[in-house]
Amino acid sequence: MLSVEGCMPQYRIAWLPGDGVGREVMDATRLVLDAVRLDAVYQPGDIGWEFWRREGDAFPARTIDLLKRVDTALFGAVTSKPTAAAEADLVPELKGRGLSYRSPVVRMRQLFDLYVCLRPCKAYPGNPLNFREGLDLVVFRENTEDLYAGVEFWPVPAELSATLAKLAPAFAPFQSLLADAFAISCKINTRKGSARIARAAFEFAKTNGRKKVTIVHKANVVRASDGLFLEEARKVAADYPGILTDAANVDAICMWLLKNPASYDVLVAPNLYGDIISDLCAQMVGGLGFAASGNIGEKLAVFEPSHGSAPKHAGQNKVNPVATILAAKMMLDWLGEEAKGRAVEKAVAAVLREGRVRTYDMGGASTTLEMGEAVARALPSD
């Protein structure tokens, strides 16, 4: 495909709106990317509920192929529903075939080994939803393993029960239960996975002049998998004597974050705890409408808002697109277009500071697109 100048655009970007409000926030973000004049071609990809319903696959093979051919991707949101509700939505021809729904975003993270989930949470001045002013937290969430490994059993096969009864005395109370009367989800943490997310967090802290990294875990109870995570993270920490290292249980960190958020800086956590604390941190800076997320691997990175598809708001052009616009800013940084990334963030900050254009979450009546237009207008004109 040719750009206006007649030569190949510099970047190929997969454009994955998904469903629900995903489409609307992506449309608003596109206004900003166009205004910042990124030399890119945007290649649309199919992902989301519509494809689950019609094809039995929310993340079709053609979209996986697309992701193999692009430099990066921007992703909106997709709907997830529990097993029975997902089955009920399938077209009649696909019902009863034993198809099972798995979140496409989790699959994408694992398939492309996007092991860093980077979630900055910054309180922009003027945002009426800030829980505290001045917060600037960054969560590094391990993104491919832990309880998200997808190794789960329900009903539990007799063979597995027998093995566990042999190996784990603590399994005794479950041993005689019927296969369907209990369920097992494996929390799998590896040394490699734990070390590389810790390395990413400490490197980020070092490069960005951050003072402290807090390792989040529950190793006092979840001794094996969290014990390993903590051990690996501490080993990495030893390579960064200039950065203060702190470790805390995940329950305590939720309490401390709420009580004293200003004393935290960078946090690093296994997958599920990272999922949970990143929502908490997001709420402290205005909620999911402001929380952007980068899924970053060695070869590919996919950027997205942390929020879901919000079906109840879909089609109303009302949700806040700032999270997706900030995800686009992260994408620009990752591409090496830091000047454009800074410009986008400045424009977001200016719109929030001014407070004239506000979506419903901020108590305003501006639409999703109006917010995108306002940010696009606030970009420096050069």
42 pairs with which residues across the strands? Answer: 13
| C-alpha distances in Å from residue 203, one per residue of 174, 288, 291 | 43, 26, 22
Residue least distant from Mg ion (Cβ): 275
Question: What is the rounded CA–CA span in Å between residue 370 and residue 320?
Answer: 10
Of 232, 224, 161, nearest to 187 (Cα)? 224
> Is residue 246 among the annotated active site residues?
no
Closest distance to Mg ion from the beta carbon of 326 (Å): 16
The alpha carbons of the chain give a radius of gyration, in whole angstroms, of 22
> Is residue 360 among the annotated active site residues?
no
Stretch that binds Mg ion, among 50-58, 270-278, 355-363, 365-373 (CB under 5 A): 270-278
- Rank residues 271 and 368 by Cβ distance to ligand IPM and give the closer one: 271
Helix (H) or strand (E) holding 262: none
Give 123-141 as a 3 state SS string: CCCCCCCECCCCCEEEEEE
Question: What is the rounded CA–CA span in Å between residue 276 and residue 48?
Answer: 23
DSSP string, 282-337: HHHBT-GGG-EEEEE-SS-EEEEESS---GGGTTSS-S--HHHHHHHHHHHHHHT-
Residue least distant from ligand IPM (Cβ): 103
- Rank residues 38 and 114 by Cβ distance to ligand IPM and give the closer one: 114
> Is residue 95 among the annotated active site residues?
no
Separation of CA 133 from chain center: 24
Residues that contact ligand IPM, how many (by CB under 6 A): 7
Tell which positions 224-283 bind ligand IPM, by CB under 6 A.
275
Is 105 a binding residue for ligand IPM by CB under 6 A? The answer is yes
Q: Which of 148, 264, 329, 333 is catalytic?
A: 148
**Residue 189 binding: pick among Mg ion, ligand IPM, none (C-beta 5-8 Å cut-off by kind):** none
Is 63 a binding residue for ligand IPM by CB under 6 A? The answer is no
Tell which positions 162-201 bind Mg ion, by CB under 5 A.
none
Closest distance to Mg ion from the beta carbon of 373 (Å): 28
Closest distance to ligand IPM from the beta carbon of 100 (Å): 15
Closest distance to Mg ion from the beta carbon of 143 (Å): 11
By CB under 6 A, name the one of 64, 94, 99, 106 that touches ligand IPM.
106
Cβ proximity of 236 and 228 under 8 Å: no
Question: What is the rounded CA–CA span in Å between residue 325 and residue 377?
Answer: 13
Question: What is the rounded CA–CA span in Å between residue 180 and residue 237?
Answer: 43
Closest distance to Mg ion from the beta carbon of 95 (Å): 29
> Is residue 65 among the annotated active site residues?
no
Q: Which of 275, 329, 333, 340 is catalytic?
A: 275
Tell which positions 68-87 bind ligand IPM, by CB under 6 A.
80
Of 120, 109, 119, 139, nearest to 300 (Cα)? 109
Stretch that binds ligand IPM, among 39-47, 102-110, 187-195, 253-261 (CB under 6 A): 102-110
Question: What is the rounded CA–CA span in Å between residue 124 and residue 121?
Answer: 9
Stretch that binds ligand IPM, among 24-32, 86-94, 100-108, 373-381 (CB under 6 A): 100-108
The site map against Mg ion for 60-79 (x = CB under 5 A) is --------------------
Tell me how crowded residue 286 is: count the other CB atoms within 10 A of its CB.
25
Question: What is the rounded CA–CA span in Å between residue 175 and residue 165?
Answer: 6
DSSP state of 177: S
**Residue 103 binding: pick among ligand IPM, Mg ion, none (C-beta 5-8 Å cut-off by kind):** ligand IPM
By CB under 5 A, name the one of 24, 226, 265, 275 that touches Mg ion.
275
Question: What is the rounded CA–CA span in Å between residue 261 and residue 139?
Answer: 13
By CB under 6 A, name the one of 41, 81, 103, 240 that touches ligand IPM.
103
By CB under 6 A, name the one of 150, 155, 308, 355 that touches ligand IPM.
308
**Residue 127 binding: pick among Mg ion, ligand IPM, none (C-beta 5-8 Å cut-off by kind):** none
> Is residue 11 among the annotated active site residues?
no
Question: What is the rounded CA–CA span in Å between residue 100 and residue 102?
Answer: 7
Q: Which residues contact Mg ion by CB under 5 A?
A: 275
Q: Hey, which residues are catalytic here?
A: 148, 218, 251, 275, 279
Q: Which residues contact ligand IPM by CB under 6 A?
A: 80, 103, 105-106, 275, 306, 308
